[in-house]
Structure 1
């Protein structure tokens, strides 16, 4: 989860952004403040990763607030005024949202945060976010929990060790390129497996822990799969 706070002197603006944050599934709202002075304390105490920040406030401007943050966390400006856009981007803000902020525009902005995380941590991070089957939702899935991923026409289905199945519109080929190559392997045109969950290989089938599913080994994938597993065969 990405820890965030909202700083705005208008309570109704805080309420709207709070609703948007609740809907995203990958943001955790750890505090709100109508006072930028109190918000600075929050930012330092709560290990905040991103601030949704109004520009015009009585005690200090959003730009002054950013300067006091001194790069401690990312900032997304939220304001009714277009005039501060250039000044905001000069201070490396992630995005500039104009009030009233629609959920679609909010989601587009916060996706940039996920892209930054991917750039900073790469595909070997311990979790991923996927576009869920339900429109507008991004779902966090821990890498260690994925048993296998199955391609199903327009979707892929993640099976986790808790027995949960999650659908996503992400193509299987693209997903495979994002998963850690030392932890996963393609065994069939429709299946990518987590190596750690393999319990048995029987002819052209793979058996996995935490599931009764029997995964076929495709003929074009068998050689690469067995070469991958040869160091484990005695």
Structure 2
């Protein structure tokens, strides 16, 4: 017998309706809603499946490269060649070694493309002073001596102008050597020491701090003398005194001893700027310079004899 209108089941509270079976379309909508809510929860928790396809570039295999070359034209050509491969992200460039020395350790660089012959500081000298785990590729014009050394030591290099085929092979090697201790900067330097003995290369130019985050490269020949100041040094030129972010002892090693002499624990003088040497009591000497104010510097007693010999006095 059919149920009369208004009749309710004794087990169902008043004012409620009997639950009807879900239709297929409704069930599909519920499942879709559950899936969306599940994805939202996973996304908030950082487990979204779609995120796997949006990995950062460092995971996709692109090499993070930094290029150093004092010739703007050559620098541009190397950068364009690297970008054209689609395998490299160029994260920085520099036209002088001093800039690279500061920037490379802060850029998470994986591959350093480095010119050899640069004024002030060569590519080899830059590597000796730099702290980086980057793989090194030397970029150079035709240099028979260097190329023979690179071949013997199995060091990566590129010839200017960079050719696409050679660059692709170099990138293949770099990608295969990621994390290889034998490819570290220290390992490269050790190989160079065995296969490419070099005469000491002294600085031809030095970076001076002009203030307000400005620097200037000045030929060392234009510097009359250096004076120690705290942990740094002051370089004196005809235009004034400028800070150098290096200790006096470090500068002494970088300067040609045939031109610069340490006359005191706090002073180095450029012999080309010496106008007069005057003996003093106690075996000391006073050096008078050719600069505008006719600067006078004291030569320490324990350095006077060596200084006299250098001046052929």
TM-score (norm 2): 0.40
Is the contact between residue 263 and residue 299 of structure 2 (CA under 8 Å) also seen in structure 1? yes
Identify unmatched segments of 5+ residues in structure 2.
1-68, 101-139, 144-156, 159-163, 280-284
Query: For residue 207 of structure 1, what is the aligned residue in structure 2?
Result: 288
* Inter-partner Cα distance in structure 1 for 2:142 and 2:258: 32
Higher strand share: 1
Is the contact between residue 208 and residue 217 of structure 2 (CA under 8 Å) also seen in structure 1? no
Match of 1:216 among 282, 294, 298: 298
**Structure 1 position 123 matched with structure 2 position 201:** yes
**In the TM superposition, what whole-angstrom CA distance separates every residue of 1:107-146 from its partner, at most 9, and x where no partner exists?**
xxxxx9xxx9xx8562345x14458587998864323222
* Inter-partner Cα distance in structure 2 for 1:211 and 1:227: 26
Structure 2 vs 1, CA of residues 122 and 142 (structure 1 numbering), >3 Å: closer, same or farther?
A: farther
CA deviation after TM superposition for structure 1 residue 148, in Å: 0.7
* Inter-partner Cα distance in structure 2 for 1:48 and 1:155: 39
**In the TM superposition, what whole-angstrom CA distance separates every residue of 1:193-218 from its partner, at most 9, and x where no partner exists?**
11111011233321112342221222
Identify unmatched segments of 5+ residues in structure 1.
28-45, 52-58, 67-76, 95-111
Structure 2 vs 1, CA of residues 181 and 23 (structure 1 numbering), >3 Å: closer, same or farther?
A: closer
CA deviation after TM superposition for structure 1 residue 219, in Å: 2.3
Structure 2 vs 1, CA of residues 88 and 165 (structure 1 numbering), >3 Å: closer, same or farther?
A: farther
Structure 2 vs 1, CA of residues 150 and 198 (structure 1 numbering), >3 Å: closer, same or farther?
A: same
TM-score (norm 1): 0.51
Structure 2 vs 1, CA of residues 166 and 86 (structure 1 numbering), >3 Å: closer, same or farther?
A: same
- Within a 5 Å distance, the mapping from 1:8-27 to structure 2 comes to 8-9=83-84, 17=92, 20-21=93-94
Backbone CA RMSD of aligned residues: 4.7
Is the contact between residue 70 and residue 95 of structure 2 (CA under 8 Å) also seen in structure 1? no
